[in-house]
Structure 1
C-alpha cells in the first residue's frame, strides 16, 4: 500500500502590530499639561473664545488666585514627567501638587472681601471654614505658608537644611560685600585731601 503523504498546513502570516514606545501616554499627558498651562495664561487676557473664558472663570471660582500660579505647577510636573524614569511620576508627587494648590487657596482665601469674594475659591472657603474655627487669620496664614513651603521641598526633593544653608551663605556674602564697600570708602576718604590741606597747599604755592 502506498503511504499517505502528511499534509502540512501553512501557518497564517503574522498580522502587523502597532506597538508604542514606553511612556508614550505619560509623555502625551505631559504635553497636554503644557498646553493647558498656555491656555490658562491666554484666558487671563479675556481672549481665546468663550471656552477659555469659561475655563478661567471656573478655575478662579474653584481655587481663587491660585489659578495664576497653576501654570507654573503644571509645567513643572510636565518637565518632571519627561525627566522621570519611564516617564512616570510617583503618585505621592501628584498628591503633593494637589495639596500645594489647597494650601495656597486657603492662604489667598484669607484675603477674601466683599469686592474680592473669589480670592481663595470654594476650596479656600472650605479649608478656612475649618481652620478659622481653631486659629485666627494671622496664625492660619503662617500655617499655610509653612505647609506650602514643606510641600514644595517634598515635590522638588530638597532638604530644608540645603535651603537654609544657601540663605545663610547669601547673607554672609552680602555682609562681606558691605564690609568691603565700607573699607573701600574709608580708604578713598583717607586718600582724598581735606579742604584745609588744599588751602595749605595753595598758600604754599
Structure 2
C-alpha cells in the first residue's frame, strides 16, 4: 500500500509516517501543499493523508485536485477544526474521511486501512491463497496454520502478490506499491526481499519467478 502524508507539522507528519511504515505501508512525506501536488502528479497513492491548513497550496485545493484526477486515491483530511460545518465542508471538497486533531494513531491507521480497501477493487481484509492466510488488519501471516514472522517489506510484497490473485506482478509494480520514493530502482532490493520471503514461507515454493516479467503466487 502506498500512502502520502502531507502536513506542515513536521514532527507529526514524520511520526505518522514512521507508524504507518511499521504497518508495512510505503509512505512518502511532504510538508506543504505544493509538494503534495508534485507527488500525486507522478506517483499513484492508495491513500493521501492531508492536513487542511498547509502553507502554499492549501489542503483544500490539494484535495480538490486529487478528487478531480479520478485515479482512485482516497483522501483522509486532517484538521484542528472540529465543528460539524468544518467536517461537512471537508467532505464536500472530495475528501473520503475526516479526522480532527489531536487524534489517536491507532484510529488514523485504521481509517487509512479502511480507505485503502476502497481505493481499488474491493478485497476482504483476510486473503487466503495456496495455504497462506494474510490478515491485513492484524498484520499476521500463517501458512498451513503456522504463524510466520515477516519483516514489513516481506509482508508488503506478499500482500501485493496475494491481491494480484495469480497475476504476474512486475518488479516495477512491487517497487511502486511496497517502497517509498527513496527506493533505488536499480538495486536488487526486490529480488533479495522475495528470496528471504520465499525462505520464510517454506516448501513447497509458492512464489514463482516469471522470466523477464516478474513474480506470481500460486
TM-score bucket (shorter structure): under 0.3
Which of the pair is proportionally richer in strand?
A: 2
TM-score under structure 1 length normalisation: 0.24
Indicate the structure (1 or 2) with the bigger Cα radius of gyration.
Answer: 1
